[in-house]
Structure 1
Amino acid sequence: MSVHRKIEKFLRATDMPPTKFGRLAVRDPRFVLDLRRGREPGPRIVARVEAFLAAQQPAQARQGEAGQ
């Protein structure tokens, strides 16, 4: 799965605004908007996004358990 698709899936699951995601993940509030317009992130940015998404996994699991 592409990093762009992972981000979009994360944004839908968490209801996080794209600008907040960009700011938190790569310190660029326009990051997601630029991806939607065709920006291709380099390997270092992809690694930062992957690390951010991995760090958010436990928080998502806790939210899911609280809703049950």
Structure 2
Amino acid sequence: MARNLLQRIEAFLAESAMPPSVFGREAVRDPRLVADLREGRIAGLRIICRVEHFMNKWRADHRAGRVAPCGDLRLYAVRHPGETP
């Protein structure tokens, strides 16, 4: 089940272009979540539910046009000078 979770997370990261540390921080307040899962960490049911909920909510918000930029907003300012995120 944990392997399947990691595969779903990897697909989500590719879909959302979200950095793994941002995903972990936003989903479960653990920036090392994805790195630890890649290293073999086994997620419990509570973590799995929180991750699934986060991905489902992000997709719904994305379809509705309510997704804010994620990641380091300082990089956004460098790439898009003068625009607000």
TM range (shorter): 0.7 to 0.9
Amino acid at match of 2:40: G
Of 13, 24, 27, which aligns to 2:26? 24
**What is the CA distance between 1:56 and its match in structure 2?**
1.0
Equivalences, count? 63
Question: For residue 8 of structure 1, what is the aligned residue in structure 2?
Answer: 10
1:45 aligns with 2:47: yes
Alpha-carbon RMSD = 1.6
Runs of 4+ in 1 over 4 A off after TM superposition: none
Q: Secondary structure at the match of 2:24?
A: helix
Alpha-carbon shift at residue 43 of structure 1 (Å):
0.5
TM, length-normalised to structure 2: 0.67
Distance 2:62 2:39 in 1: 27
Question: Could you tell me the percent identity over the aligned residues?
Answer: 48
Query: What displacement does 1:62 show?
Result: 4.7
Identify the structure with bigger relative contact order (alpha carbons < 8 Å, sequence gap 6+).
Answer: 1
- Structure with more of its chain in helix, by fraction: 1
Partners of 1:62 and 1:44 in 2: CA distance: 27
Partner SS, residue 40 of structure 2: coil
Q: Which runs of 5+ in 2 are unaligned?
A: 66-85
TM-score normalised by structure 1 residue count: 0.83
Unaligned runs of 5+ in 1: 64-68
